[in-house]
Amino acid sequence: MEKEILAEIKDLSVTYPTRIGSVSAVDHVNFNIYKGEILGLVGESGCGKSTLGKALLRMIDPPGEISNGKIVFRGENIMEYDYNHLRDFRGRHVSMIFQDPMTSLNPVQRVDEHLIETIQVHEPQTKEDSALQRSKVMIERLGIGIERLYSYPHQLSGGMRQRVMTGIGLILNADLIIADEATTSLDVIVEAKLADQLREIRDEFGVSLLLITHNIALVAEMADRIAVMYAGHLVEIGDIYKIFEEPKHPYTQGLLASVPNIRFDTNEHLYKMPGEPPNLTHPPLGCRFHPRCPHAMPICSQREPLLVEIEEGWSVHCWLYQEQSS
Amino acid sequence: MNSQKEKQNDSVPEWQLELDKVGFVRRLFLARKWYKGDWWFVLISAILLIFIILVGIFPQWFAPYDPREEVGPSLLKPGEKTPGFMLLTNIADNVGSFQDIAGASNKIGYIMGSQATQAFRDSLDILNAQSQQEGAGLMYQPRGYRYETAQQGLDALQAGEIDGFIVAESELGDLLADYPGIQFLEEIRSSKAESFILGTNQLGQDILSRIIWGTRIALIVGLSSALISFVIGVPLGLFSGFIGGKIDRFLTMIMDSLYAFPGLILAIAIASVLGAGMGNIIVAIAVIYVPTYFRVVRGQTLTVKNELYVEAARSLGTNMMTILTKYIFPNVLPSVVIIFSVNVADAILTEAGLSFIGLGLPPDTPDWGIDLARGQDYLRSAWWLITFPGGMVSLVTLAFSMLGESLSEILNPRLSEL
Amino acid sequence: MSSSLKKFLVTRILLTIPMVLIMITLVFFIMRVLPGDPIRSQLGPRVSEEQADRLRERLGLNDPILVQYGNYLKDMLTFNFGNALTRGERPIREELGEKLPATLELSIPAMLIAVALGIGLGAFSAKNRKKPVDYGIRLFSIFIYSIPIFFLGLIFQIIFGVRLNLLPLSGRMDPILLTTFESKTNFYIIDSILSQNWAALKSTLLHLILPSLTLGLSLTGVFIRLTRVNMIEMIKSDFITAGRARGISETQLIYKHSLRNTFIPILTMIGLQMALLIAGAVLTETTFSWPGMGRYLVDRIALRDYTAVQSTIGVFAFFVAIISLVMDILYALVDPRIRY
Ligand SMILES: Nc1ncnc2c1ncn2[C@@H]1O[C@H](COP(=O)(O)OP(=O)(O)OP(=O)(O)O)[C@@H](O)[C@H]1O
Ligand SMILES: [Mg+2]
């Protein structure tokens, strides 16, 4: 099956200058997002997942900046967009759902105002009532009652708000939705419902979904491919079944082993990874994982490995799988 | 291909890496890169404050004259020369200087009602002071003679009835040409200086000296009232927030009402009952800032109180005083420092306001507010009476509020993140 | 009106009562319990003790303190302040009735100036945080706050009144026009419009410019600061990020989304700044000889008219409590979270 590339992230780095040094939150990351796929992005807290997600919209808070690399979206390099172009790109082509449904809607705006505003920002010629019509259709399709259209955010439940956020993302037929821990703060049942709905939406609208989460089980259930980040590096990316079957990178191995009962032997006790994630202001030289790695070699602390493809569509960022060229 | 692998930490500037290692002073200096404008705000206001405090402690070093003394003609413009008077003598008398004809047996003339009288007396004072210093024991005390017009005076001088005649150039006109035997000997001034940098007020006092001595008053009132509010407000807030319950609710209600009450009006009420005087003013101003400390300290105490480590300390049987001073006080300190700084600024403004409406200090005090109130009467003619004291109040207040504001930007973690 | 809003309003109004009580008790405490004899200071040393005692008797100052307090509360709450001790001994209620409109006529435009300028500049500053214009606006706000209000007024008088000779220095209206001017409401603007006296209206407006500008500008500093701090908090909130992520422009995010949310805290804080407004009004009125409550208070303090002083301060206390109540009610009406 030939997959159509939606977005190419090339050598992307993001740094935040801080008082104690600059944080390289995302460091030379390369990967593609295909059309219509669900890509799960996992990693420890603070490894740069949200930063990567925001970088795709070029929304890094100053003084942080994208210090290197480019993002090619449907053949266009969005790093070259000017402000107005970028603004139109956000929301129309890529939209984002955030973690906290309680705070990501404007508390003094009603649901319909959010939707209509989004339409009119991108299509200023659209009349108010036709925008309202479209909003109604979208809201119904998401399984929210029409009467909720005139509610204020604080009158909705968390799950409903996330669905509204999703609706805002979909109303302009975006190609990519970034869900940054969109389900984390919901209870298990609502989470499962939202996950189902996101998958339906993908099938129905053909959008791609970048699913940022801590919840490996959710990724296992929903995603087509999985990307693993560690300390700003993308350490492994590939087909979900293959990686879950036989993770290559020692960090992925540790990560999957420390998740309670997914597909592994149930009587194996939970693995605890030794050590702490590094301080990103002064990351370890070479591979950033080497201080915690059970397979560390001398080279690991000296030079950084490359992200190399070990199999069709499966890349690993580890010295174990590449030649130590001189 | 391999170039990417050998990545160094070159994106982190050297100074940032060192920040943890360097000493306090250097760290302060390095911090300017991070805090940008706020750092400069702190620096500028700190320098300004050090200077102001120096001036406040040692006004005598900076002030050229006694602030209450009449040192020159009234309402002299800044930098304006004090009007000079001409001392005329007979050429034939062969007088060398004013000193020679200022003995007790000499006679000096001037025009009735002229400013020359003042100049005459002032120059005598100077001569006498000089002779006393030298221990000569001479008294310069010539007799004065008054004339209706310059012409009469000149006639008398020519006739030898008097030894000298003091007259302003404007009074003289070009009469001198008619008296070939009379010469212009020297200029006589009516004040201690040729001019005053910031001019003089309606009483002939030096404005520069007054605003310099005013600094002391402002600092005393500002700092001591802020200190009193601090000493009352902070413990009360700690206590109230910590014990909670009915007492806390009662205190909070009182403090909230006090806080909502317009501070100046309250100070006016207290000052008008207690009467004028430095101590009373300080008390009046101190009262109005107690609630500010109380509210902030109480609020923070409530938050900190519930944090785990205090709970832990409490369960170990640590007594209340220790918890308050060891755990809670250090946490509220940054905000209290900010309030203190703003409080001093406010107190100085309030003091000036009270003095301006006539409720402040005794009327002869060299105080900015009093000077401003008096200057208002000369609004049309003498702008410098208002501008300089007003400028001083603004400057000192500015220094304190700038410090408070920039400190709050730096110390407030919510605002400055990272 | 929903029941939760009703409940909020009732609680809020009930809370105002102790506040007013505490405030006027405070005034009583200051005026009667603090050391210092108001009657002695009023009459001066030359009046005999007998005479002073008679006045004390008449004012009820010889009663036990609790009885005095009771009478005082009754008088205050019924707005029955008695007569002034000086200057014609008119009923204080009548006098304050004339002065209050003057103070309002000065304060309302001043407040509008302060709110418009303060919120506008504060929002702009927040939008450009840490850029030079932010530092500039902040410096301006600290600076304007540091200038004593009467000094600002005097400077304006020197520049616009004396040097440029554009605007009148003091008063509410040209004294010549005032002799024939008939005032019903004591709001000169309203009166002159009602009587279609355009010359009077023009004069009133001209006289209003400097005082209201002075008072307004001096409040602006605080408003800029409040707006800026609140906006910066608001700009960091998630819904702004979410708005940015769906392509809403920065300008709209600031002036529409953030500002509308910031209005709520700002409104509360403006309520708290009433104290500042009143303090400012007293000084402004003194500077510009504006015949309002503040000027009246200062005059009566100079005359040591203790009844008048006590009543004026009491009325100020009422004023503050009422305004803070009104602000809270407005708050409830603006914020949908309370409205429903
Ligand atoms: N605005 C910022 N300024 C400075 N550093 C930042 C900023 N935002 C994030 N970082 C740093 O960048 C790194 C990555 O943060 P990010 O929020 O992307 O992590 P994450 O993987 O999303 O974590 P989590 O799972 O907790 O959401 C962290 O070390 C964080 O401290
Ligand atoms: Mg995150």
pLDDT band at residue B1, thresholds of 50, 70 and 90?
very low
Strand arrangement, sheet containing A208-212: A94-97, A176-180, A208-212, A38-43, A225-230, A233-239, A314-317, A307-311
Provide the mean pLDDT of chain B: 77
At A225 the pLDDT is: 92
Tell me the torsion sign for CA atoms A97, A101, A106, A111.
positive
At C247 the pLDDT is: 86
> What range defines the domain where residue C124 resides?
98-334
Inside any domain, residue C76: no
Cβ of residue A16 lying under 6 Å from some atom of ligand 1: yes
At B8 the pLDDT is: 40
Cβ of residue A49 lying under 6 Å from some atom of ligand 1: yes
Query: How would DSSP label each residue in A83-119?
Result: HHHHHHHHHHTEEEE-S-TTTSS-TTS-HHHHHHHHH
Contact call for residues C250 and C259 (beta carbons, < 8 A) = no
Between C265 and C151, the more confident residue is: C151
At C338 the pLDDT is: 57
> What pTM was estimated for this model as a whole?
0.79
d(C-alpha C107, C-alpha C293), whole Å: 11
Q: Does B36 contact C at CB distance below 8 Å?
A: yes
Q: Which of C222, C206, C196 is nearest to C165 (CA)?
A: C206
At B3 the pLDDT is: 38
Q: Does C260 contact A at CB distance below 8 Å?
A: yes
Any idea what the CATH number is for the domain that residue C232 is in? 1.10.3720.10
d(C-alpha B238, C-alpha B335), whole Å: 13
Residue C127 has pLDDT above 60, yes or no: yes
Cβ of residue A247 lying under 6 Å from some atom of ligand 1: no
At C12 the pLDDT is: 75
pLDDT digits (tens, 9 = 90+) for B337-379: 888 888 999 999 999 998 888 887 877 788 888 888 888 888 8
Q: How far is the CA of A45 from the centre of ligand 2 (A)?
A: 7
Cβ of residue A230 lying under 6 Å from some atom of ligand 1: no
d(C-alpha B177, C-alpha A235), whole Å: 107
Q: Which of B164, B105, B166 is nearest to B140 (CA)?
A: B105
At B233 the pLDDT is: 93
Helix (H, G, I), strand (E, B) or coil at A272: coil
Angle made by CA atoms A80, C253, B38, in degrees to the nearest 5: 85
pLDDT band at residue C215, thresholds of 50, 70 and 90?
very high
Name residue B138's amino acid: L
The alpha-helical segments, DSSP class H, found in C171-258 are 175-180, 188-194, 198-235, 238-245, 250-252
d(C-alpha A211, C-alpha C241), whole Å: 18
Residue C105 has pLDDT above 50, yes or no: yes
Among all ligands shown, which has an atom nearest to the Cα of A41?
A: 1
Closest-approach residue (CA) in chain A for C337: A154
CA of A85 vs chain C CAs: smallest distance (Å): 10
Is the Cβ pair C238, A96 closer than 8 Å? Answer: no
The two three-digit tokens of residue C338, written as one number = 């309370």
Q: Does C184 contact A at CB distance below 8 Å?
A: no
At A72 the pLDDT is: 92
Inside any domain, residue C17: no
Residue C101 has pLDDT above 80, yes or no: yes
Residue pLDDT tens, chain A, 326 long: 457 889 999 999 999 887 667 888 898 899 999 998 999 999 888 888 989 999 998 988 877 889 888 999 988 898 888 888 888 888 889 988 887 777 888 888 888 888 999 898 888 888 888 989 988 888 888 888 888 888 888 888 888 888 888 888 888 888 899 988 888 777 888 888 888 888 888 888 888 999 998 888 888 888 899 999 998 889 999 999 988 888 888 888 888 887 765 555 555 566 777 777 777 777 888 888 888 888 888 888 888 888 888 888 888 988 888 776 64
**Of A35-39, A103-107, C9-13, C227-231, where does mean pLDDT reach its minimum?**
C9-13
Q: What number of C-beta contacts closer than 8 Å exist between A and B?
A: 40
At C260 the pLDDT is: 80
Query: How would DSSP label each residue in B154-217?
Result: HHHHHTTSSSEEEEEHHHHTTGGGG-TTEEEEEEEESSSSSB-TT-B-TTS-BHHHHHHHHHHH
Question: Which residue among A14, A51, A212 is best mutated to probe the pocket of ligand 1, counting the most ligand atoms within 8 A of its Cβ?
Answer: A51
d(C-alpha A58, C-alpha B100), whole Å: 91
Among the partner residues B264, B352, B372, nearest to C282 by beta-carbon distance: B264
Q: Which of A104, A111, A122, A172 is the best mutation test for C, with the most CBs of C within 10 A?
A: A104
User: Tell me, what's the ipTM?
Assistant: 0.85
Is the Cβ pair A106, C238 closer than 8 Å? Answer: no
Residue C203 has pLDDT above 50, yes or no: yes
pLDDT band at residue C39, thresholds of 50, 70 and 90?
low
Is the Cβ pair A104, C241 closer than 8 Å? Answer: yes
Among B149-163, B199-213, C257-271, top mean pLDDT goes to B199-213
Chain A positions touching B6 (Cβ under 8 A) are 303-304
pLDDT digits (tens, 9 = 90+) for C267-323: 777 777 777 888 899 999 999 999 999 999 888 888 777 778 888 888 888 888 888
At C212 the pLDDT is: 94
At A267 the pLDDT is: 57
Contact call for residues A131 and A118 (beta carbons, < 8 A) = no
pLDDT digits (tens, 9 = 90+) for B103-126: 767 777 877 766 777 777 777 777
The number of distinct structural domains making up chain C is 1
CA of C181 vs chain B CAs: smallest distance (Å): 28
At C44 the pLDDT is: 63
Residue C130 has pLDDT above 70, yes or no: yes
Q: Does A282 contact B at CB distance below 8 Å?
A: yes
The CATH T-level fold of domain A5-262+271-305 is Rossmann fold (3.40.50)
Among the partner residues B258, B275, B372, nearest to C151 by beta-carbon distance: B372
Q: How far is the CA of A305 from the centre of ligand 2 (A)?
A: 25
Q: Where are the domains of chain A?
A: 5-262+271-305
Chain C positions touching B268 (Cβ under 8 A) are 282, 297-298, 301, 313
Cβ of residue A51 lying under 6 Å from some atom of ligand 1: yes
At B24 the pLDDT is: 60
Is the Cβ pair A325, B2 closer than 8 Å? Answer: yes
Inside any domain, residue C68: no
Q: Which of B199, B351, B375 is nearest to C158 (CA)?
A: B375
Q: Give the rounded distance of the alpha carbon of C211 from its chain centre.
A: 13
Chain B positions touching A283 (Cβ under 8 A) are 9
At B26 the pLDDT is: 64
At C42 the pLDDT is: 62
- Interface list for A 15-34 with B (CB within 8 A): 15, 18-22, 24, 28
At B230 the pLDDT is: 93
d(C-alpha A180, C-alpha C69), whole Å: 64
Inside any domain, residue C18: no
Q: Which of C239, C255, C331 is the best mutation test for A, with the most CBs of A within 10 A?
A: C239
